[in-house]
Amino acid sequence: MKNLDIQITSDFICPWCWIGEANLEQALQTSEMHETTRLLFVPYLLNPDMPVEGKNRKIYRTEKFGSWTRSQAMDAQVTVTGKASGRIFNYDIIDKTPNTVAAHRLIWREQASGNDATRLVNAIFEAYFRDGKDIGDLETLANITGDMGQDRASTLVFLKSDEGREEVLQMAKDAQRRGVRSVPSINIAEHTLSGAQPTTIFSDILRRVQAEDAQE
């Protein structure tokens, strides 16, 4: 079985991105392709004009969806779906919708160094959705990497620079040019899946890719 790169285009404020990744990882765990598969993360900006300091979540969601009541109903649906996928959402402790460029820059740096960014991606998602932290704050992001055993001080120096910023912005623009209009968008070989697909769908695609590989 040859190596397989799975490309995941996502944003850290998208709950379905986290759920979709969880379902994909579960499918991979039960697949023969687990050991030969690498996840590659591509940045997407759902709010490209978000202020650097972020925005009060209640105000932002009310403006976006028309009412806070509707937003809360959507959050409740996500919480139930997330729990079934092993993802915990604590919306009641999230005060701010963050600017996610800095978080994407961390993932860019990790992958540019040749490292698997999956653990860091999940740590950032957890910090936001489970722990209610402001993942647009540079100190918070540095703490996340520090908790993972990385050098916090050097991470903070990186975050306070502009390194990787233009690359992340360009990658997000390129995703839109490729036709990505919603996330997650997951590419497995020649197959593109949009949205938080269930584990069974990912498993079916992985089996199909494995069969296609065997025929080559």
User: Do you know the residue count of the chain?
Assistant: 216
Q: What is the DSSP string of 164-184?
A: THHHHHHHHHHHHHTT--SS-
Q: What's residue 1's pLDDT?
A: 56
Side-chain-side CA neighbours of 97 within 13 Å: the count stands at: 21
| Predicted pLDDT at 216 | 64
* Percent helix, percent strand, percent coil in the chain, to nearest 5: 55, 10, 30
Report how far residue 80's alpha carbon sits from residue 9's, in angstroms, rounded to the nearest whole number: 23
Cβ atoms of 46 and 183 closer than 8 Å = yes
Q: Return the bridge partners of 194, or none.
A: 185
Domain locations in the chain as residue ranges: 4-215
Phi/psi of residue 56, nearest 5 degrees:
-50, 125
Question: What pLDDT is attached to residue 195?
Answer: 93
CB-CB contact of 22 with 14 (8 Å):
no
- Number of H helices and E strands in the chain, helices first, is 9, 6
Place of tokens 């650097």: 52
In 10 A of CB 150, how many CB atoms? 16
Q: Which CATH class is domain 4-215?
A: alpha beta
Contact 97, 57 (CB under 8 A): yes
pLDDT in tens, the chain (216 residues): 578 999 999 999 999 999 999 999 999 999 877 788 999 999 999 999 999 999 999 999 999 999 999 999 999 999 999 999 999 999 999 999 999 999 999 999 999 999 999 999 999 999 999 999 999 999 999 999 999 999 999 999 999 999 999 999 999 999 999 999 999 999 999 899 999 999 999 999 999 988 887 776
Give how far the C-alpha of residue 149 lies from the chain's centroid of Cα atoms, to the nearest Å. Answer: 21
Q: Report the pLDDT value the prediction gives residue 33, as an integer from 0 to 100.
A: 78
Question: Which H or E run includes 57?
Answer: helix 57-65
Residue 13 main-chain phi, psi, to 5 deg: -95, 5
200 vs 188: CA distance, rounded Å: 14
Question: Beta-carbon neighbour count of residue 133 at 10 Å?
Answer: 21
Residue 18: what pLDDT? Answer: 98
pTM over 0.85: yes
